[in-house]
């Protein structure tokens, strides 16, 4: 069937769609590289006003386990659907660990778009240090359903209730999808910049 790539992409869009860490792969610009200029961090509450210990580039890959996502709700809207799910993403590279994500996905068939926002927590190491737990409730992805073209950003940082004495990281990432596994899980590459506050034994949630 000629429309299978689109339907394949849309099926995941409407059942276990992208957290801030994945691009819908089928029909997308596969093989694209992560954006050259990392997304600027949001001016959100909880971002540090302290000078970082160091700032450094990061990159790596992600696997989004669509096949094990839990769909909590799906409601019709005037022009599409709204879904809420729990998703797990595996990160490798300079960020090495797992992301637990609660995305809210708004699919607008009339506009041919998908907008994905929500909250997520990363647990793992950053550039070999940690483990740390980093929070993000500002990610946003926009997907063109017909082509799979996606623009998105991820901003990981310290949890708002974390003690000031802890060391932590802030990471601003751009993500570009690279396709799907044979099982249907999403693949992506990420690139961006991290800032470290504190060192070694200071690292924590």
Q: Dump pLDDT digits (tens) for 77-98.
A: 999 999 999 999 999 999 999 9
* DSSP 8-state symbol, 49: -
Q: Helix/strand/coil (H, E, C) string of 104-168? A: EEEEECCCCEEEEEEEEEEEEEECCEEEEEEEECCCEEEEECCCCCEEEEEEEECCCCCCCCCEE
Half-sphere exposure of 6 (CA within 13 A, CB side): 10
In 3D space, the residue among 172, 185, 184 whose CA is nearest the CA of residue 59 turns out to be 172
How many CA atoms does the CB half-sphere of 184 hold within 13 Å?
Answer: 15
Q: Which of 186, 188, 190, 187 is nearest to 69 (CA)?
A: 186
Q: Name the nearest CA neighbour of 173 among 188, 158, 186, 185.
A: 188
Model pTM score: 0.75
Quote the mean pLDDT of the chain.
77
pLDDT single digits (tens) 100-116: 999 999 999 999 998 88
- pLDDT tens digits, 152-195: 899 999 866 566 556 789 999 998 877 789 998 888 899 999 99
Distance from C-alpha of 26 to C-alpha of 29, rounded to nearest angstrom = 9
């Amino acid at each position: 069937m000629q429309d299978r790539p689109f339907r394949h992409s849309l099926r995941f869009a409407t059942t276990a769609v992208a957290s801030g860490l994945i691009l819908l792969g089928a029909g997308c610009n596969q093989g694209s590289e992560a954006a050259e200029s990392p997304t600027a961090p949001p001016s959100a509450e909880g971002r540090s006003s302290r000078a970082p210990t160091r700032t450094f580039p990061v990159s790596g890959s992600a696997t989004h386990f669509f096949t094990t996502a839990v769909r909590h709700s799906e409601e019709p809207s005037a022009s599409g659907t709204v879904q809420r799910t729990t998703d797990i993403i595996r990160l490798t590279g300079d960020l090495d660990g797992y992301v637990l994500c609660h995305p809210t996905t708004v699919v607008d068939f009339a506009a041919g778009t998908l907008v994905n926002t929500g909250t997520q927590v990363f647990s793992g190491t950053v550039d070999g240090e940690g483990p740390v737990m980093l929070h993000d409730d500002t990610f946003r992805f926009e997907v063109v359903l017909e082509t799979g073209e996606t623009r998105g950003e991820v901003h990981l940082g310290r949890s708002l209730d974390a003690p000031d004495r802890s060391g932590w990281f802030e990471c601003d990432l751009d993500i570009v999808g690279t396709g799907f596994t044979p099982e249907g899980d999403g693949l992506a590459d990420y690139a961006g910049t991290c800032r470290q506050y504190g060192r070694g034994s200071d690292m924590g949630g």
